Amino acid sequence: MRHRVAGRKLSRTSEHRLALRRNLVSSLIEHETISTTIEKAKEVKAFAEKMITLAKQGTLSARRRAIARLCNRDIINYEDGKAVKKGTIIGKLFSELGPRYLDRAGGYTRIIRLSLRRLGDNGQLVLLQLIGPDEKPKKETKAAAKKHGRKKTKKAVQAEEAAPAKEPEQGEQPVEPVDKAKIDK
């Protein structure tokens, strides 16, 4: 039985899984979008969001925890055939990504399924992306939508009864008020 066993094994040893997770999150921070399999993306998504939450804190202890979990590799771009150091993963995480998501409560990444499949093993490919700075979170969640569908409280019913009846427009049939005594029976 797998009671309370979290995470996917991904056919790897624990050290290999840890290295894979670090490398994928580092690449996500560096490029802001990566292509991988759906199982790896779902496993890495939670870790990436925890790293961004650490970056939002911006403290020295948060930076040290991020370095311990991610390692601090360099970001290198090739310009005119020469390698040029642009910064580090932790530097970008704390200087760009942390401030970008300060007003966002969570959900910094998204998974977009691709129609492509990997040639070797036919694995489902996805894009794992960081949400852009201009994209706003959805206003109404599923829980909020369910609240609107619930039965009305006594106060809401009393407020509707106290409100004046709306006059019918031209061509509409007038609506007769409902007798509550008939409904309660």
Helix (H, G, I), strand (E, B) or coil at 77: strand
* CATH superfamily of this structure's domain 14-130: Ribosomal protein L17 (3.90.1030.10)
Integer Cα distance of 33 and 7 in angstroms = 22
Confidence of residue 162 (pLDDT cuts 50, 70, 90): confident
- How many of the other CB atoms lie within 10 Å of CB of 70? 21
**DSSP codes of every residue in 153-176:** PHHHHHHHHHSPPPPPPTTPPPPP
178 or 67, which is more confident? 67
- In this predicted model, what pLDDT tens digit does every residue of 110-149 receive, in sequence order? 999 999 999 999 999 999 999 987 787 766 666 665 666 5
Separation between Cα atoms, residue 159 and residue 151, nearest integer Å: 14
73, 26 Cβ separation under 8 angstroms:
yes
**pLDDT tens, 15-70?**
999 999 999 999 999 999 999 999 999 999 999 999 999 999 999 999 999 999 99
